[in-house]
Amino acid sequence: MKYLIASDLHGSATYCRQLIDAFAREGAARMILLGDVLYHGPRNDLPDGYAPKEVIAMLAPLRGHIFGVRGNCEAEIDEVVLGFPLLSDYAILPMEDRIIFATHGHIYNENHLPPLLPGDILLHGHTHIKEMRYVGENRDILYLNPGSLSIPKDDDRHSYMIWEDRTFTIKELDGTYVSEITL
């Protein structure tokens, strides 16, 4: 199955349209949102096209294809209006020989690891910077971050990730290839 993984939309209708275009272009079956879907939060400027109601209208029809985890800007009502799971702090996604621990990154992150075994994967957003690298005391936990859809930081670009089979690929919102890792 092919998944599109994204984070930190922060209520931008502009980037939500591009996300939905990418979802269709990629032919992904499911979308995993790593938090901060509707609101920009007190530390961020308003993203281009900030319109949470429009984002709701665009994502709600796709609710059967989407699940998410709670970001630090989520509210309880977000899950109600969007119609897909969004309030769990993490999700455990099994692979054949490891797990993916999907979370937003404000609680568990590369500096505060959840209970993972060597070879497991920590997947989170929150930093607004795309990354693929090994972390942990023995550098045996793969850390993946799709970057930010609407407010990339440190000169990063708007991006998402594709997970298909054992390959994770980061792409810019227009579909331009950035990097990948195959397990």
Give pLDDT, residue 40.
87
Domain range enclosing 148? 2-182
**Residues listed for the chain:** 183
Residue position matching structure tokens 């568990």: 108
Total number of domains constituting the chain: 1
Which structure tokens are listed for 78?
């977000």
| DSSP-derived 3-state class of residue 112 | strand
CA angle (165, 93, 179) in 5-degree steps? 45
**Selection from 165, 180, 128, 135 nearest residue 149 by Cα:** 128
pTM: 0.97
Question: pLDDT class for 43, splitting at 50, 70, 90?
Answer: confident
Q: What is the CATH number of the domain that holds 99?
A: 3.60.21.10
Q: Are 84 and 68 in contact (CB under 8 A)?
A: yes
Q: Hey, what are 121's tokens?
A: 């994967």
In this predicted model, what pLDDT tens digit does every residue of 56-99 receive, in sequence order?
Answer: 999 999 999 999 999 999 999 999 999 999 999 999 999 999 99
